[in-house]
């Protein structure tokens, strides 16, 4: 089988158009021309770049040559084996490169390098994305985005936490936010996504524009469309979706260094206050920690906030000193 025949056969094999006889011919050539230590034919479902292919083949040649005894002391037979090994690897490289060129010619490109952002527990981070869209990430959020958007889709991932997006409109290039349980697709709009694992729900609230919500585990279902002042809440345990009017008066208040709590345990409220005011809050009645509250707190003094909370939840407190609050 000459080089042209090999390339044509490899292309048909990768295209899925090869007959069983042609597949057998390629497998027979591969078995006869490669050893057990050589790399397998590339899986085009997870293609490598041309540079990665070259580097891996170089490493494999070096590895196989090193396994042999010292080249300088080889006799003619062993030298021939090394030469044959290099020829074999070069032949397999042709198949790899054919696979790469087919994959590349179909319009796919290597995945863009990703940035992973872990937001500290006491900070809110604002990021300008490659397309000039902006995202605000709440404390404890984990967010992944490409350094450069490639192709028709602009995809980012909210792995954990809460994010507010102000997406720049780019015709023909939908912006997609992926979470573990749902995906949000838009062209240009602003919306809030909340997906903390501990809460057991994922919520999307729209401020401007229009978004479409799809479920990865139900690809055949039509998208749920949301307009301003609408939201969906997905339960992670029941996989049940509820579409309703937005409950929060302003869903992105938290972006403005305002503490926003919605049916939050008092234990988490106290932790947030400890971080913001660099203080220690001690609670003697542990049952109080499980009570929930919905409240928005601005930049008031800590004693003012404690007065509000104590009145709402009926507890007594004492400001022991500048760095300690005792709740009874």
Give 7's pLDDT tier (boundaries 50, 70, 90): low
Q: Provide the pLDDT for residue 249.
A: 74
Cβ neighbours for 156, distance < 8 A, ≥ 6 positions apart: 129, 135, 143, 144, 145, 146, 175, 176, 177, 178
Counts for the chain of helices (H) and strands (E), in that order = 6, 18
Q: 105-119, 270-284, 304-318 — which is least confidently predicted?
A: 105-119
**pTM value > 0.95:** no
201 with 123, same domain? yes
**pLDDT averaged over the chain?**
75
Give 162's DSSP letter: E
97 with 126, same domain? no
Q: Provide the pLDDT for residue 65.
A: 44
140 with 171, same domain? yes
For the record, the structure tokens of 100 come out as 């790469």
Mean pLDDT of 240-251: 86
Measure the CA–CA gap between 150 and 108, rounded to whole angstroms: 10
Q: What is the pLDDT of residues 261-295, one digit of tens each?
A: 777 888 888 888 887 788 889 988 888 888 888 88
Measure the CA–CA gap between 6 and 95, rounded to whole angstroms: 8
123 with 214, same domain? yes
Distance between the two ends of the chain, CA-based, in angstroms? 86
Q: What 3-state DSSP class applies to 3?
A: helix
Query: 244 with 231: CB under 8 angstroms?
Result: yes
Measure the CA–CA gap between 183 and 19, rounded to whole angstroms: 40
Mean pLDDT of 222-230: 93
For the record, the structure tokens of 300 come out as 């008031």
Structural domain boundaries enclosing 207: 114-245
Q: Provide the pLDDT for residue 158.
A: 97
151 with 220, same domain? yes
Residue 145, pLDDT > 80, answer: yes
Q: What is the pLDDT of residues 45-104, one digit of tens each?
A: 333 444 444 444 444 444 444 444 444 444 444 444 444 444 454 444 544 444 444 444
77 with 119, same domain? no
Give 228's pLDDT tier (boundaries 50, 70, 90): very high
How many domains would you assign to the chain? 3
Q: Provide the pLDDT for residue 183.
A: 95
Q: 106-115, 128-137, 236-245 — which is least confidently predicted?
A: 106-115
Q: 74-78, 116-120, 122-126, 246-250 — which is least confidently predicted?
A: 74-78
Q: Provide the pLDDT for residue 153.
A: 93
Q: Provide the pLDDT for residue 237.
A: 83
Structural domain includes residue 252: no
119 with 145, same domain? yes
Structural domain includes residue 136: yes
């Amino acid at each position: 089988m000459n080089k042209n025949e090999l390339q044509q056969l490899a292309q048909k094999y990768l295209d899925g158009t090869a007959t069983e006889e042609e597949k057998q011919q390629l497998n027979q050539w591969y078995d006869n021309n490669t050893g057990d230590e050589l790399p397998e034919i590339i899986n085009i479902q997870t293609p490598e770049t041309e540079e990665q292919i070259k580097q891996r083949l170089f490493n494999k040649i070096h590895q196989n040559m090193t396994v042999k005894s010292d080249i300088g002391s080889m006799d003619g037979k062993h030298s021939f084996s090394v030469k044959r090994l290099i020829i074999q690897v070069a032949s397999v490289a042709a198949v790899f490169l054919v696979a790469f060129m087919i994959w590349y010619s179909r319009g796919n490109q290597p995945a863009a390098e990703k940035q992973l952002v872990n937001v500290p527990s006491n900070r809110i981070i604002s990021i300008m994305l490659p397309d000039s869209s902006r995202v605000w990430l709440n404390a404890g959020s984990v967010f992944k985005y490409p350094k450069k958007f490639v192709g028709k889709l602009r995809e980012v991932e909210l792995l954990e936490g809460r994010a507010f997006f102000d997406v720049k409109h780019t015709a023909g290039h939908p912006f997609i936010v992926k979470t573990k349980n749902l995906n949000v697709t838009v062209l240009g709009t602003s919306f809030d996504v909340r997906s903390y694992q501990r809460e057991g729900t994922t919520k999307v609230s729209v401020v401007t524009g229009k978004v479409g919500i799809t479920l990865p585990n139900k690809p055949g279902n039509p998208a749920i469309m949301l307009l301003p002042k609408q939201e969906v809440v997905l339960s992670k345990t029941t996989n049940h979706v509820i579409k309703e009017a937005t409950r929060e008066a302003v869903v992105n208040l938290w972006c403005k260094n305002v503490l926003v709590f919605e049916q939050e345990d008092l234990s988490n409220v106290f932790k947030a206050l400890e971080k913001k005011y660099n203080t220690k809050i001690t609670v003697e009645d542990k049952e109080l920690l499980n009570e929930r509250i919905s409240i928005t707190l601005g930049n008031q003094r800590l004693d003012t906030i404690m007065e509000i909370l104590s009145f709402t939840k009926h507890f007594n407190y004492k400001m022991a000193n500048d760095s300690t609050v005792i709740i009874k």
